[in-house]
Structure 1
Amino acid sequence: MATVLHAVLGYFLLLFTVRILRRRAGAQMTMFEFVLIFLIGGIIIISTVGNDRSVTNCTCAVIVVGFMHRALAYAKSKSPRVGAIVDGSPVMVIRKGEWQQEIIYRTGLRREDIEAAARGIGVTRIEDIDYAVVERNGHISVIKK
């Protein structure tokens, strides 16, 4: 019964923390935000099924991680360099209609990925793409010619 109670308390603590820290949809999250969610979830799992089942320790750990997240988010807002290190930066894979082969190779993208993003905005031919950018959250933005 204690495990179930810890799981319920952990669920509401995680829900409350995520609600306070960020209001973005999951598809728009950066890697920084996914790490935060997984870390907090891991803390709650450990407090639920681990040897130390202290709700106080779990709550303190989640609060510390939340404060770390806020401090790093503040640093990102003050320094674009910190933001680029933590979240990455957008990468242009098609520039003025030309494929950037080196960048495509480094990102591990396939032609089909860009074609799928293009179809999402109504572009049926790859030749009609002027720019394609892989955003920080992994979404591919396509701009028609």
Structure 2
Amino acid sequence: MPRRLAVVALGSVLRAIFGYYFLVLVVRIVGRRPGKQLTPFEFVLIFFLGGLMLTGIVANEMSLANAVCQIIAISVAHYALVWIRMRSSRVSRFLDGTPLILMEGGHWRSRTMRKMRISYSDVMAMGRDQGLKTFDEMGTVTLERNGEMSILPAEDQNQ
């Protein structure tokens, strides 16, 4: 009985290793972008593929084959969606969003900030990361498509 348990455990380990390498290959083929530039639908893709592979790893060999087929199908669907996104600005705006101005010329866009659930202290924390000490030093604050905030110092806007 212990020998059968070792064979089962080894099979599970080998499926996990295969799953890892397969996902790395698929993500590499599907496309790459820096981590901070991942769009929401790319995060969904990564987690979804991981969930599909997990099913194949913890179950039997038939589940592994199904997981591989599902991952290939989802990867092709993702590639098609990226292709459509590159050709349609409307689809791109829907999937990636658009940059939103939170502050411009010393005036806050409070409605936008409430809608995005961003507080003034969130903006100030980002400003401190960039070496700014007060709100007066900030010219334009933009919430970018990837969720990061861009802060242009007030002096840079006069140029």
TM-score relative to the length of structure 1: 0.92
Using the TM superposition, give the Cα deviation of residue 28 of structure 1 relative to its aligned residue in structure 2, in angstroms.
2.0
Q: CA offset at residue 76 of structure 1?
A: 0.7
One-letter code aligned to 1:137: N
Cα distance in 1, alignment partners of residues 26 and 38 from structure 2: 15
State the identity as a percent.
Answer: 34
User: Relative CO higher for 1 or 2, CA cutoff 8 Å, sep ≥ 6?
Assistant: 1
In 1, the alpha carbon distance for the partners of 2:122 and 2:108 equals 13
Q: State how many pairs are aligned.
A: 145
CA deviations over 1:62-105 (Å, ceiling 9, x no partner): 11111111111111111111011111111111122211010100
1:131 — aligned with what?
Answer: 140
Q: Distance in 1 between matches of 2:61 and 2:119?
A: 46
2:152 maps to what in 1? Answer: 143
Any stretches of 5+ residues in structure 2 without a counterpart?
1-9, 155-159
1:56 offset after TM fit, Å? 2.5
> Is residue 61 of structure 2 the alignment partner of residue 13 of structure 1?
no
User: Which 10-residue stretch deviates more, 18-27 or 90-99?
Assistant: 18-27
CA distance in 1 between partners of 2:61 and 2:94 (Å): 34
CA deviation after TM superposition for structure 1 residue 50, in Å: 3.8
Q: Which has the higher helix share?
A: 2
State how 1:115-126 maps to structure 2 within 5 Å.
Answer: 115-126=124-135
Q: State how 1:55-94 maps to structure 2 within 5 Å.
A: 55-94=64-103
Question: Could you tell me how far apart the structure 2 residues matched to 1:116 and 1:22 are?
Answer: 32
Task: From the CA coordinates, give the structure whose radius of gyration is larger.
Answer: 2
Q: Do 1:90 and 1:134's aligned partners in 2 also have CA atoms closer than 8 Å? A: yes
- Out of 119, 122, 146, the position equivalent to 1:113 is 122
Are the structure 2 counterparts of residues 96 and 50 from structure 1 closer, same or farther at C-alpha, using a change threshold of 3 Å? farther
Offset, 1:42 = 0.5
SS state at 1:76 partner: helix
User: Which TM-score applies when normalising by structure 2?
Assistant: 0.85
